[in-house]
Amino acid sequence: MNFDKLLGITSAFAEAAGDAAAATAATAEGVPEVSPVASMISMLLPMVLLFVVFYFFLIRPQRKKDKQVKQMLDSLKVSDRICTIGGIYGTVTGIKDDVITLSVGRQNMEMKVARWAIRSVEEVSIENDAEALN
């Protein structure tokens, strides 16, 4: 069959690769050697840049958000209208350590939730709208 042509092509590729390797070796002899310190810096620099990007785009905003949530939970007071992470709206009727007592629904049923389970404090004042909120 045409195995000779196929072998001829592969031998031509092998010769071309050998010529390219010889040319590379010749040019490498003329290039000065890079110091180990410079090569170490060139390897570490991308990792440092990656860490800086992660810090400014992921870590720092998350810390800022956590700080705001902690401040919101620390500033809870009786008569605040809140929403829990489960979607339950209620009015704070008591605070004891990490347990918050809520008044929920039209019958003002009492419910106890953990402080960390509060998603947000609503901006609505219940003093004027007590009937409408429950």
As a whole number of angstroms, the distance between CA 132 and CA 88 comes to 16
- Write the pLDDT tens digit of every residue in 87-130: 999 999 999 999 999 999 999 999 999 999 999 999 865 555 55
**DSSP classification of residue 98:** T
- pTM listed for this prediction: 0.58
Q: Let me know whether 60 and 98 are in one domain.
A: no
pLDDT of residue 18: 56
The residue among 48, 75, 102 that closes a domain is: 75
Write out the two tokens for 44: 């570490």
Strand pairing report for 99-104 and 118-121: unpaired
- Write the pLDDT tens digit of every residue in 31-85: 667 788 888 888 899 999 999 999 999 999 999 999 999 999 999 999 999 999 9
Q: Let me know whether 96 and 109 are in one domain.
A: yes
| Residue 40 falls inside a structural domain | yes
Could you list the residue range(s) of the whole structural domain that residue 48 is in? 33-75
